[in-house]
């Protein structure tokens, strides 16, 4: 009897700790709503410029709590803080041509998701991406480019079988590929996704309009729902 009571108390404590953590960290859904609103500010050119004061800079000297990770292209026209109307300390940026995810990019994402407890990752491609266009061309790439383009070419090959613009389709498919890659990346990110601590969303930015098109999000579990279904943890 005493052993069963102890197990019940431990289970309640664990779920209580989860609830406390969730109170401290905004939900991925809430963050996504904020970023969508921020993009609306960008398209209307009515920026709020949040968190860009001297006080905010001083606040961040000792710690950081970004509420979203953005894996985006290094293209100079695609600056997450501007197109999502965010400020200092709001976004953990991982930028690389073609918004690909090699071990180096995955390591950065793991750091933010695991150690900073950032609940949302956005993989964002963009219209007329130069890296995707280069991957679709048959010419010889120089320097270190071949290793990067090799990560994009599977999306290009899939896009060739689809109707419509090759580059537009390849940009979207490349985002979808990276979203799947991150969600299945073991041992760290897959566990966070499965546990509900990290939500991964795909997006494509339009250079013409400034609008972000959000790709359909996959279903994820949340720890809160798990605790609601199993209030006592048994061993």
Q: Which domain holds residue 48?
A: 27-222
The mean pLDDT of 213-227, rounded to a whole number, is 52
Confidence of residue 138 (pLDDT cuts 50, 70, 90): confident
Nearest to 50 by CA among 32, 28, 35: 35
In a domain, 147, yes or no: yes
Helices (H) and strands (E) in the chain, counts: 10, 5
- Report the number of distinct structural domains present in the chain: 1
Confidence of residue 25 (pLDDT cuts 50, 70, 90): confident
- Residue-wise pLDDT for 113-135, tens only, equals 999 999 999 999 999 999 999 99
In a domain, 6, yes or no: no
In a domain, 138, yes or no: yes
Whole-angstrom distance, CA of residue 192 vs CA of residue 180 = 14
- 174: how many CB neighbours lie within 10 A of its CB? 30
CATH code of residue 168? 3.40.1050.10
Whole-angstrom distance, CA of residue 72 vs CA of residue 122 = 8
In a domain, 17, yes or no: no
- Residue-wise pLDDT for 64-91, tens only, equals 999 999 999 999 999 999 999 999 999 9
- Residue-wise pLDDT for 91-112, tens only, equals 999 999 999 999 999 999 999 9
């Amino acid at each position: 009897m005493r052993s069963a009571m102890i197990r019940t108390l431990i289970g309640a404590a664990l779920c209580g700790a989860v609830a406390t953590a969730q109170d401290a960290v905004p939900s991925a859904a809430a963050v996504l709503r904020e970023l969508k609103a921020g993009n609306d500010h960008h398209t209307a050119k009515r920026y709020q410029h949040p968190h860009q004061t001297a006080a905010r800079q001083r606040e961040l000297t000792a710690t950081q709590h970004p509420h979203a990770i953005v894996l985006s292209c290094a293209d100079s026209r695609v600056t997450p803080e501007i197109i999502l109307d965010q400020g200092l300390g709001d976004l953990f940026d991982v930028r690389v041509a073609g918004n690909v995810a090699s071990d180096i990019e995955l390591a950065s994402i793991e750091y933010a998701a695991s150690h900073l407890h950032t609940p949302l990752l956005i993989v964002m491609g963009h219209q007329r991406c130069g890296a995707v266009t280069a991957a679709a061309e048959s010419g010889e790439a120089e320097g270190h480019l071949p290793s990067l383009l090799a990560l994009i070419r599977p999306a290009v090959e899939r896009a060739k079988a689809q109707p419509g613009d090759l580059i537009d389709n390849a940009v979207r498919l490349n985002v979808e590929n990276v979203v799947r890659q991150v969600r299945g990346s073991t041992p760290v990110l897959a566990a966070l996704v499965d546990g509900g601590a990290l939500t991964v969303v795909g997006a494509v930015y339009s250079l013409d309009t400034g609008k972000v098109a959000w790709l359909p999000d996959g279903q994820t579990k949340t720890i809160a729902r798990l605790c609601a279904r199993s209030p006592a943890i048994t061993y």
